[in-house]
Amino acid sequence: MAAKPEAPIHPFATVATQDDPMTTMTPPQNNSSGSNKDYARANFQNLEGSAANAGGLGNEFNLDVILDVAVTLSMEVGRARIPIRNLLQLNQGSVVELERAAGEPLDVYANGTLIAHGEVVVVNEKFGVRLTDVVSPAERIRKLK
């Protein structure tokens, strides 16, 4: 009888071994559904007091590792909701009325999350945005939940 082929391992997956000091293995057990498949449960060490806090930072986070990550900033002037019939009739010179009134501040988003409000300015013949109100970090986190 031929042996079953092993399931492919994800390229980023790690396989725990008995010699690995970061994990301990419990013996394989039958699962509660009554099938014959065995599995082993990995138990991981608690990271408190280990290399995670080796920098002496305590509860502080080291943000240096993410400072070069690029984020997409986008500015929203306003929105409009129109039927597809009207959308198909748009052509050059058409005007779409937005829900936002003239003079209201723009919304500034970072990767789709509202971070500020601002007004349009011109800098060296290019558009820019002057931030007039920045959403507090606590408010941003509250909106994520």
pLDDT for res 57: 47
* Average pLDDT of span 84-100: 95
- 114 CB neighbour count, 10 Å cutoff: 14
Query: Do residues 70 and 111 touch, judged by C-beta distance below 8 A?
Result: no
pLDDT for res 118: 94
* Average pLDDT of span 53-63: 59
**pLDDT tens by residue, 101-122:** 888 999 999 998 899 999 999 9
Distance between alpha carbon 78 and the CA centroid of its chain, in Å? 24
CA contacts within 13 A on the Cβ side of 57: 11
pLDDT for res 143: 76
pLDDT for res 125: 92
pLDDT for res 11: 47
Lowest mean pLDDT among 51-55, 69-73, 85-89, 136-140: 51-55
Q: Could you give all domains of the chain from N- to C-terminal order, each with its CATH number?
A: 71-92+104-144 (2.30.330.10)
